[in-house]
């Protein structure tokens, strides 16, 4: 891949045929409320909005990253620009599913998840956004 903007994203998540939820992603980034539904949290969270954005792709269909390994680039503060948009969204999906199924993951890496989503949104808003495809 010559540029991070020359990638294709397969929207194979829970809502087939829907566009990627850019407006929801921007809402997540503009609201300081936590994304996790971990207990105990005082006040509202953005768990449902996070789940909607994260479930737009299904990392499991590509198995490029395990849920446990998906958090590692965020924990290590790796430069996210080296990943394709599909890889970033797969990381988001994997971490959401890990949290959903085993109750861990989102809260501890939320700053990294916010950074990841900022990269994705910037790519969406760029002059050369990723191309989206729906599974056949």
Beta-sheet pairing, 8-10 with 131-133: parallel
3-state DSSP: the chain helix, strand, coil percent, rounded to 5?
50, 5, 45
Give the total number of structural domains in the chain.
1
Which is nearest to 29 in space by CA: 14, 50, 48, 43? 50
Q: Judge whether 1 lies within some domain.
A: no
Listed as own residue / partner, the contacts of 43-51 with beta carbons closer than 8 Å and 24 or more positions apart are 49/24, 50/96, 50/106, 51/96, 51/100
Q: Judge whether 113 lies within some domain.
A: yes
What's the pTM?
Answer: 0.87
Q: Judge whether 112 lies within some domain.
A: yes
Q: Judge whether 107 lies within some domain.
A: yes
Q: Judge whether 21 lies within some domain.
A: yes
Where in the sequence is the domain holding 104, given as residue range(s)? 8-133
Per-residue pLDDT tens digits of the chain, which is 136 residues long? 444 446 899 999 988 788 999 999 999 999 999 888 776 566 788 889 999 999 999 887 876 666 777 788 888 999 999 999 999 999 999 888 887 666 566 778 889 999 999 999 999 999 999 999 998 7
Task: Show Cβ contacts of residue 45 under 8 Å, excluding neighbours closer than 6 positions.
Answer: 33, 34, 35, 36, 37
Q: Judge whether 37 lies within some domain.
A: yes
Q: Judge whether 2 lies within some domain.
A: no
Q: Judge whether 3 lies within some domain.
A: no
């Amino acid at each position: 891949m010559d540029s991070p903007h020359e990638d294709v994203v397969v929207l194979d998540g829970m809502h087939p045929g829907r566009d990627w939820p850019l407006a929801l992603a921007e809402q997540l980034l503009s609201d300081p409320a936590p994304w996790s539904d971990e207990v105990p949290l005082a006040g509202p969270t953005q768990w449902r909005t996070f789940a909607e954005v994260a479930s737009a792709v299904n990392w499991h269909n590509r198995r490029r990253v395990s849920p446990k390994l998906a958090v590692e680039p965020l924990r290590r503060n790796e430069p996210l620009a080296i990943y394709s948009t599909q890889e970033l969204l797969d990381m988001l999906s994997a971490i959401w599913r890990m949290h959903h199924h085993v109750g861990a993951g989102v809260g501890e890496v939320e700053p990294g998840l916010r950074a990841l989503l900022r990269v994705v949104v910037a790519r969406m808003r760029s002059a050369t956004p990723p191309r989206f495809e729906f599974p056949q």
